[in-house]
Structure 1
Amino acid sequence: MQKTKGDSSFSTNSHNNGKLQEIERHFSEDVLLETVDSTQTYAKKEYKRKYWNQITYIRALHQTEGRGQFDRKWECQSKKNILTTIIFPFFTRKEHLKNVTIIVGYAIVKLFKELYNLNAQLKWMNDILINCKKSVGILVESELIDNKCVLFVGIGINVNWWKEVDQNQLYLELKERVTKALYDLNDFGFEHLRVRMNRILYRRGQLCEFEDSKILQKVYSGILEELNEQGDLVIRDQVNNQRAIVPPNVRLKK
């Protein structure tokens, strides 16, 4: 296991120095693991013993039991994925916990657009598609520990789609942008980003079907309209024109 502490947790080239000064508020540490069952499992297990008062970036080159939302297995090829969990123990806005996943997703979509000029879209509620193919999965879990809300933000990126991608550069940008997104959500809430997030929402304005994420059965259908001011996904029934909020445990079918 390799560790890097302090300033090196963020990219330090001149292009990023301004951002670094803006978001570096707490001590941070990088942890690199050759092999682990799951970065998410490792982070939650080791948090209180090792990482309780800092932002920690845990990256693994290989996972044996990677998992996604609702304990689904995350299939990955060794060293062809960026596999990481960010421990963020400074989140105080509990009313915005439900918004963390989509805020993280938005930050990653912006990264792909600005760094690689890729057409990425956010699929409700924890997938990112590039050219209509799933390329990123996000798993956000939280725990109330010693009166602190601790976020465990798991991210898996399939980098096999582009042989020339610099994984280290992508990882540095990922850490920086996701960390800033978490600070911004905590400081400013969700509403100021709503309009921009709606622009990248996959299948917005289309008739969609939704299914219960655990039993994989259809439970809703309707026109996918928008994310509202609270970050809820709103759909409209074609028959009676009524609007409804999609629960977090319901996902958009392919």
Structure 2
Amino acid sequence: MHIIKLNAIDSTSTFLRQLSGEKKLENYTVVVAESQSKGRGQMGTSWSSNPGENLMASVFVDVSFLAIHYSFWISMVTSLAISKTLKELYISNVKVKWPNDILADQKKISGILIENVIKNNRLQACIIGFGLNVNQGCFDNLPLATSMQMVSRKTYNLDAILKKVIDNLQIYMTQLKDGDFTNIKDLYEIELFRKEKPSTFEDAEGSLFSGFIKGVSKSGHLQVLIEDGVIKEFELKEVTLLY
């Protein structure tokens, strides 16, 4: 694992992607920054963080072994790696809110953004960007955000947390490379927030409906049991879980 530390950057993912285009990178090359001005989340959202208090990192991973229609599995193993790290450090009530927000006590503690490098319609590598709230004590105007310190009342070493995340990511990536899809999917579905609980959803048109999360498809679609016993699958932009 090769780590590049930066004081300030617009986006660790953007920096790492540009670097990967300039030279061949060692697998699990990591870029981590004290602060970033243009941190990105899913669907164009931003990720803000107090400088020096949280983890903002991106990691380059060779995923050339993975078929392109299995790209969501990268999200699964990344979610599991962060979830495992938090549980190992005794953070309570950790769950994965589909597709890959990590919650603690029903509040967001981590977000993930994955950018795939594709050539000739084949996966070559991915840039896994993640933000993990570690030592920040409060989040103004963000009532659904939390941090490891807010949950545990402890202060953490950011370098140690980063190493744990990358170590766990390598464990799950190895399982993925070995073709252990069933175990990975089972573990991910166990972690799903609101699984098998009555929940309210909003569709792309703004209409509300009720259902039960049952799991995810192999392509990463959310499977929801709705009325009349029908299980419907939703893509990322088609549905929002309200809580």
The bucket for the TM-score relative to the shorter chain is: 0.7 to 0.9
Identity, in percent, stands at 24
Equivalent residue for 1:226, pick from 203, 215, 232: 215
225-234 or 138-147: bigger deviation: 225-234
Q: How does 1:67-106 map to 2 (within 5 A)?
A: 67-94=40-67, 95-106=69-80
Q: Which runs of 5+ in 2 are unaligned?
A: 137-146
Residue of structure 2 equivalent to 1:31: 4
Residue of structure 2 equivalent to 1:151: 126
TM superposition shift of 1:237: 0.8
AA in 1 matched with 2:163: L
Answer whether contact 1:136 1:158 (CA < 8 A) is retained: yes
User: Compared with structure 1, are the counterparts of its residues 108 and 53 closer, same or farther at alpha carbon in structure 2 (3 Å cutoff)?
Assistant: closer
Residue of structure 1 equivalent to 2:82: 108
Equivalent residue for 1:193, pick from 172, 184, 189: 184
3-state DSSP of counterpart to 2:8:
coil
Partner deviation per Cα, 1:180-220 (whole Å, 9 max, x = no partner):
222322322422223332222101112333446xx783476
4+ residue runs of structure 1 moved beyond 6 angstroms? none
Query: 1: CA distance between counterparts of 2:107 and 2:88?
Result: 19
The number of equivalent residue pairs is 224
CA RMSD of aligned residues (A): 2.3
Equivalent residue for 1:175, pick from 157, 166, 173: 166
Answer whether contact 1:190 1:231 (CA < 8 A) is retained: no
Q: How does 1:209-248 map to 2 (within 5 A)?
A: 209-211=200-202, 217-218=206-207, 221-228=210-217, 231-238=220-227, 240-248=228-236
TM superposition shift of 1:223: 1.2
TM superposition shift of 1:108: 1.3
AA in 2 matched with 1:44: R
TM-score by length of structure 1 reads 0.79
AA in 2 matched with 1:236: L
Q: Which runs of 5+ in 1 are unaligned?
A: 1-8, 10-28
